[in-house]
Each structure stands twice: as C-alpha cells, then as structure tokens.
Amino acid sequence: MKRTYIADLKDHVGQEVTIAGWLYNKRSSGKVRFVLVRDGTGICQATAFKPELDPAIFDLCDSLDQETSITVTGVVKAFEKAPGGFELGLKNLAIVGVSKDYPITPKEHGVAFLMENRHLWLRSSRQHAIMRIRHQVIRAVRDFFDDQGFTLIDSPILTANACEGTSTLFETEYFGEKAYLSQSGQLYNEAAAMAFGKVYCFGPTFRAEKSKTRRHLTEFWMVEPEVAFMDLEEDMDLAEAFIEFVVQRVLSRCAPELKVIERDVTKLANVKRPFPRLRYSDAMTFLAEKKAEFAKSDDEELRKLSADILKNGPGDDLGAADETAIGMSHDRPVMVHRYPAAVKAFYMKNDPADPNFALCVDVIAPEGVGEIIGGGQREEDLSVLEGKIAQHGLSGDAFKWYNDLRRYGSVPHSGFGMGIERMVGWVTGAHHVRETIPFPRMMEKIWP
Ligand code: 4AD
Ligand code: MG
C-alpha cells in the first residue's frame, strides 16, 4: 500500500497523500467532520467537508469507532492549530479493520486494568512517548560506547554461575544439569576486557525478585561496560560522562515526547558533570541529618520518609528510603562509593586503605527511581578472589574459568551496570518501572 507517514507530511504540503493508521479521535461541527488518525509516527487531523464529499464517505466518518484501522486520502495543508501542524483535506476514507468496544477509553482507568491490557495500552500517547524515549536512551547508550572505541561483546543468557548472589536466580534444567538465567553479563565481560581492552555488553538480565516495589522487574535490560587497567576513580568518571551524555541526548532528541508526558525538563538540564561523590560513611552522616530534619517537617510525606531512613543501620546496604532521601536532596545524580565489603558481591575489590570497605560505587538518581548504576573495581588477586568465592558459599568449580583471568596476566579492572528501565524511569519521571519496558515481567506478571 502506498502511504505517507504523518511524521513526513512536512515534505508533502500541497500534495495528495494517503495515511494509513488508526482512529485516535473524532469531532463534528455542522457540515464538518474532524477525523484524527494516528499512525505511530504522529497524529494528523483529516477534515471532511460535507458539500465537497461523496455522501457515503461522509457517513463513514460518523460511523468510525476508536481504534478502527483506516486509510485517509487528501491534500496536505499547513495548519498551525492542528496536531503536528498539518491537516489533510479529506477526499477519501476506507476502513481496513473495524474496532468494536475498544477497552481503553479516554476516561481514567486503574493501573491493574491497564496492565491487563498492556498490549493495547502501548497505543496510548503517554506509553507511546515513553517507549520512544526508551528507544533514544538505547541509541545513546550504544553511541556513547561505540564512539569511544568500546567493542560490543554479547554475554550468554544461559549460565552455570551466579553473579549477583544466589537468592534471585531463575533456575532451569539444562540437559540434566542446572543452569540459570543470567543476572548480569559482568563475569563474561571481564574475560572480554582481557581480550579487547574496553568492552560492553547489553542485553536482558533476570532476577527472581520477590520484592514488589516500583523499582524492581524480574526481567530488565542492562548495559555493562568493563575496562582493563581502569580503577574506581576512572570508573566513576566514565559513569558520570555516560549519564550526562544519555540525559543530554534525550533532551535534544525527545522534546516532543517529553512534552507529551509533561516532564519538567529544567530538572534534567542540570545533569552535567561533575556529580557529587559521597563516601558511604559520609552518606550515613548525611542521612542521619536528613532523618532529623525531615522528622521536624510540616510535610507529612517527609515525616513518613524520615521514619524509614537508616532503617538498615550502619554497616548495611542503603535502603529505598535512604536512596530517595539522597536523591531528592541533590539536583543531579549522586555517586556513593566504598560501601561495606560485607554487603557487596564477591567479585568486588576491598579498599587497600580500609579492607572493611569495597571499591564500589552506586549512582543514585536525583528523582524517584533510586540506584541507576552499580559497579566498581574487581578483585584481581587469585587467592583473595578464591577466598571470597568460598566465603560467599559459591561453588569453586563454576568459577574455574573466571579465576583463569587472574591466572593469566591479571590486571586491575573495573566496570558498571546500568538498568535501562531505571534510567528511563528517571528521565521520563514514570512512577513505576513497569511503564518503561514494553511488556514488564514482575513477580505476579508474566502476561500479556
Ligand atoms: O547493582 P547491580 O546488581 O550490579 C550488577 O549487576 C553488576 N554486575 C554490574 C556490573 O558491574 N557490571 O545492577 C546494576 C543495575 C542497577 O543499578 C539497576 O539500575 C539495575 O541494574 N537493576 C534493576 N533494574 C530493574 N529491576 C531490577 N530487579 C534490577 N536489579 C538491578
Ligand atoms: Mg546494585
């Protein structure tokens, strides 16, 4: 079917074109019918004027239901007030597929209902805009690393070892043996960094998260760079340059989408290097101050948050409320580094200055989603690493190949992982990460 995309109408002013899409909305006024059609690239108003039209076509305009698929033919006119700035003087209209009782109407629906209808919800303008932003985030991620000479190395999804602890593994049977869906491509990335110097992997990762929070999915996409001879400080430099690039790219390429979702872009404009760097121990002091400050606030929300700050106590990982408090007190991402080694993964290198702490970093977004990046410097000494593997109760056999990387020319190296959905959640201001992936997978959600 010869058709013109709505996004390309600017190149066809004065010409007759056919648009193929779905009925978004319609209005009538006397002898005029306004047919709003969306085709995925935009929304266009086709205007039917009774005296100039075959009566059957005019009547057809009245019969259209929401989401009926149609073709409309007419001459393109520039018209500032129309959505997208162009209008079609309707000459012909044909129905491709009818749509009766489309479940998602312009009225408000509950989230449970919308999630049940995710396959249709994706057509709504807000969801459409968020997915377009996700697409640009992914393009920016690839461009950033590709332009700096990183090689993309795909890591396997079926794996024999755990990377991020054994409590969130999805297990499957693999020809009589146990296998797991990958929690992270990092271990393979480390092998690749020893072959290519600087690499990244980017793919779906899986965690059997039993927590029902707005930040957790069981299947999410993660991009992970890994660089040989890079230390923690350089890792943090890389993370902040990367985040700045992605955010600024979204600002420059997604203005229409950000407008649809009514995102306050002034908050994103601040996202420029350098980002604040806070030692874990200083973060604890900062949180204790915030806890006291929020407890005295007139704002009930802040008082509630105060009660949840530092629930985990010193020596533990930060909790969701801690991350929220750190995020909301800054206008750009905050890099919290050197957590207690005991709460972090087996592969982290201990800080030589104080081995109770790990050379790691979590980057916390200034609004909403909490941690967007986790990473750090890896243990490069074979005997120390073997000790940590045993300490974490992991099977030495499964890590034989990984330990080889310390046997044959081991070097200091570092990297990080960024969850695409958390990043998209932050830049779009989506309240829950379920809106940032086309078909979210969560504890009680594997359908549609
Ligand atoms: O902090 P995490 O667990 O780090 C790793 O997996 C490292 N192996 C990465 C590396 O150094 N190569 O996860 C990294 C990021 C988090 O900061 C978060 O953005 C995202 O992955 N993430 C999740 N996103 C959605 N749902 C979940 N359940 C997530 N778990 C982690
Ligand atoms: Mg983490």
Domain ranges in the chain? 6-97, 119-276+330-435
For 369-379, the pLDDT digits (tens) are: 899 999 999 99
Residues in Cβ contact with 275 at an 8 Å cutoff, skipping those fewer than 6 apart: 240, 243, 332, 333, 334, 335, 363
Q: How far is the CA of 150 from the centre of ligand 2 (A)?
A: 23
CA distances from 66 to 20, 38, 116 (A): 15, 11, 19
Q: How far is the CA of 87 from the centre of ligand 1 (A)?
A: 46
Instruction: Tell me the ligand closest to 373's alpha carbon.
Output: 1
pLDDT of 211 over the 90 cut: no
Instruction: Tell me the ligand closest to 167's alpha carbon.
Output: 1
Q: Nearest Cα to 159, choosing from 206, 201, 199?
A: 206
Q: How far is the CA of 125 from the centre of ligand 2 (A)?
A: 32
| Residues 387, 241 contacting (CB under 8 angstroms) | no
Mean pLDDT in residue range 352-374: 96
Alpha helices, DSSP H only, in 275-381?
280-295, 300-308, 320-328
Q: How far is the CA of 422 from the centre of ligand 2 (A)?
A: 12
119-276+330-435 placed in CATH 3.40.640.10: no
Mean pLDDT in residue range 424-438: 96
Instruction: Tell me the ligand closest to 163's alpha carbon.
Output: 1
Which band of pLDDT confidence, cut at 50, 70 and 90, is reported for residue 312?
confident
Residues in Cβ contact with 181 at an 8 Å cutoff, skipping those fewer than 6 apart: 157, 158, 159, 169, 170, 172, 205, 206
Mean pLDDT in residue range 107-135: 96
CATH superfamily of domain region 6-97: Nucleic acid-binding proteins (2.40.50.140)
Which band of pLDDT confidence, cut at 50, 70 and 90, is reported for residue 444?
confident
For 387-397, the pLDDT digits (tens) are: 999 999 888 78
Mutate to test the pocket of ligand 1, among 222, 426, 441 (most ligand atoms within 8 A of CB): 222
Mean pLDDT in residue range 293-315: 93
Residues in Cβ contact with 110 at an 8 Å cutoff, skipping those fewer than 6 apart: none
Q: Which residues line ligand 1 (CB under 6 A)?
A: 163-164, 184, 186, 207, 209, 216-217, 220, 222, 224, 371-375, 415-419, 421-422, 433
The closest residue, in CA terms, to atom 22 on ligand 1 is 419
pLDDT of 368 over the 90 cut: no
Mutate to test the pocket of ligand 1, among 422, 432, 437, 442 (most ligand atoms within 8 A of CB): 422
More confident residue, 162 or 2: 2
| Residues 337, 217 contacting (CB under 8 angstroms) | no
